[in-house]
Each structure stands twice: as C-alpha cells, then as structure tokens.
Amino acid sequence: MRTFRLAMAQMNATVGDFDGNAERIITSIHEARALGADLIAFPELALPGYPPEDLLLKPQFIRENRERLGLIAAECRDIAAVVGYIDADTDIYNAAALIHDGEIVGSYRKMYLPNYGVFDEDRYFAAGSECPVYTVNGSPVGVNICEDIWYATGPAVVQRAAGAELIVNINGSPFHAGKRAFREKMLATRASDNGLFVAYVNLVGGQDELVFDGASIIFGPDGEVVARAGQFEEQILIADLEVEAVFRSRLRDPRTRKERATDLAHIGKPIQPLDETAEVYAALTLGTRDYVRKCGFGKVLIALSGGIDSTLVAAVAADALGSDNVVGLAMPSRYSSEGSILDAMALTDNLGIELWTLPIEDAFNAYLGTLAPKFEGTEPGVAEETCSPAYGAT
C-alpha cells in the first residue's frame, strides 16, 4: 500500500518579520524531516506574514520575501515543502512555492482573490491561471490557496482531473464565532465530491484586528476527518495517508474518466474542537497576546471599576500575558462605591496582578471647576458620573 506522510505546520507568522518567519519555517522543515514526512505545508503568505496590506506596494518588501525563500529552499533537503510567499513577474501574486532538495521546483498562484469583509486581495494581487499537479514521492499532489477551495468548480476539480490524490490547501483564514463548523462542512464536501484527500493548513495568531484560529484539518475521500490540529496554538500536524486507495477507487469508477482511500492513520491523539464559548475566549486571549508581543510592548495597564467589563478584560490580559505583565489601575472618586473598590481589590488578588490605587478626586474637581460656567443652574447627574473613571470611562 502506497502511503504519504504529510506534515502541516500551523504557524504564527508576523507581518514583515522575514527573519523570524523564515527561522520558524526552517525549524519546522527540519522537525518534519526528522519525523519522516514526505511533504510539509505552511500557511498562506507564511513567509511575509498575512495580511501584508500596503507593504505589498514596496518593491523592497517583495525582494526580501523572495531572498528569504531562497534561503529556505537551501535548507529543504530530503523533504518537499509548500511555502506561502509573494511571487512576482510583471505583477505580484499570492503564491505557494513547492520546494524540494534545495530548489524551488514550482509555484501555484492563487486564482480566487477575495475582496469582501476583511479581505482586500483584489487590490494588491493579480490572479493566477494554472492548476499544476506535482508528483511528490510517487504521489500526485495538487496545491491551491484558501479561497480557491471554497468554489465547487474551482482548482481542486481541475487538479483531481489531472490525477491529484491529495489537495494541499494553504490558508490565512481569520476566526469568527461559528466559522469552523461551516468551513469543515465545505472541506468535507470537497473531499468526498472529488474522491481525494483534502489537507487544510491555517495560520494561527493575532495580527492587528484579526485573529487566526489554526484548526488545521485533513479530510479523507469519504469526507471523514483524518486528523485535526488544535485551535489557537502553534503545532505540526502529522498524518499518514493511504493515497493508493484513491487510485484504486478511481480504477473502479468510470465517471472520472468521462470528466477529463480511505484507511487512514493519525499520529498522535485525536483532538476535539473547542465549544463556541471556549473558542471566543481563546481568540480574545491569543489576539491580545500577539498584539502586545508583535507591537513590542512589555506590560499593560487596565483601569478597574469593579464592574464586569473591566473584570473580563483583566482576566483575558492575565491569561494572555501572565499576571506579572498586567497592572490594575483603580481611580476612586466621589462616585466610587465601597463595593466597587473592594471588588477591584478582590479581582487583582484573584488574578495575582499588581494594583495601583490613584485617587482622582482632586483632578476630577478641577475639571468640574473648569466646566462650572457651562453647567450653571444644573444639578450633578449622569454626565458627571459617567465622566468619572470609577465607571471605567478612561
């Protein structure tokens, strides 16, 4: 039985950090090779980071991306790798390089460029027009990128007709609540409709306002899950695919000829997806951690009113950054109740974070004096109360 050992590197890339991203990629290649993988796949634009946005308008950014790809290729020996990068000729492309034995042997250019929601790819990239299939260790492999797999008559159909037994789909797919289940239903349909393996590898981490959940997954030709990576964490997923079963199945099915396997082994323990509440909390934690880390900050200050909003923010920050890197800030004024102050103190004790207490009555009184001519004839009320940091309006 011909098997194919596939590795998928669910990595946390940083936009513009070519050295850091390339180091992560090279390290993962070496790890996958040591585990006997035939191919390791990395996410969409893993080398430059996703989404690079207006950095794509800088020629130097494109050149650096290509230079680092050459360094990665030199380290890729006795294993194949699919690496997301920016390809260029007279235009630029969202592309996936196939690397083997020190050389870039092929490049797939993304065909369907999303231009809705958080995506703006049609502004930056030209669309590809070819659907190559590569032979890796005796097995035909089709490579495509993110949006390409969402179309029922997209590149996967062309690659299946050209003999692909495995589709490697690399992604930069942002998280939102409920998306994972919808995405997996689509991927299962692509796998079963085309009678092949579909391997989906996704970015993980926060980048500005976006959070990528990972949740990389492999489906078999029957539409069933073969292997699943964790959510919101870096991981290399390894699976052995009995790709010869795909070939045997096609010999018995004449329909594929007119259009011109199913036993699987998972290395490691099966992983169950998070429930919806846990997904959202994990996304908040990861997004906070990566925003602080990637922007070069060390600690954060959080104004604590004793209410549920600042309590949740403080809990997320402590889980994301560690208690030593979070400082709570209480700013009592004439509107602060004893309960709110005690609640803020209990919160910092429970989370193990430092508490600064800075009374703001003098500063608040100075503001009221400045505004007194405009407030003449009125009684203090909601306006004064909601301007006080005791209510979290900082």
Dump pLDDT digits (tens) for 14-52: 999 999 999 999 999 999 999 999 999 999 999 999 999
Q: Is the pTM of this model over 0.85?
A: no
Cα 224 to Cα 39, 106, 192, 218, 255, distances in angstroms? 22, 30, 8, 9, 22
CATH superfamily placement of domain 298-391: HUPs (3.40.50.620)
Residue 286: phi and psi, rounded to 5, are -65, -45
Would you call 280 exposed, middle or buried from its count of C-beta atoms within 10 A (0-12, 13-18, 19+)? middle
What is the C-alpha to C-alpha distance for residues 25 and 8, in angstroms, rounded to an integer? 11
Q: Rg of the chain over CA atoms, in angstroms? A: 26
At 388, is the pLDDT very low, low, confident or very high (cuts 50, 70, 90)?
low
Every domain of the chain and the residues it spans: 4-275, 298-391
Dump pLDDT digits (tens) for 324-364: 999 988 888 787 777 778 888 888 999 999 999 888 888 88
At 392, is the pLDDT very low, low, confident or very high (cuts 50, 70, 90)?
very low
Residues annotated as part of the active site: 44
Dump pLDDT digits (tens) for 61-72: 999 999 999 999
| % of the chain with per-residue pLDDT over 70 | 93
Q: Reading across the β-sheet that carries 354-357, which strands appear in turn?
A: 300-303, 326-330, 354-357
At 314, is the pLDDT very low, low, confident or very high (cuts 50, 70, 90)?
very high
Confidence (pLDDT) at 264: 31
Dump pLDDT digits (tens) for 116-145: 888 899 999 999 999 999 999 999 999 999
Say if residue 259's pLDDT is above 60: no
CATH assignment of 4-275?
A: 3.60.110.10
At 102, is the pLDDT very low, low, confident or very high (cuts 50, 70, 90)?
very high
What is the C-alpha to C-alpha distance for residues 111 and 146, in angstroms, rounded to an integer? 10
Confidence (pLDDT) at 345: 87
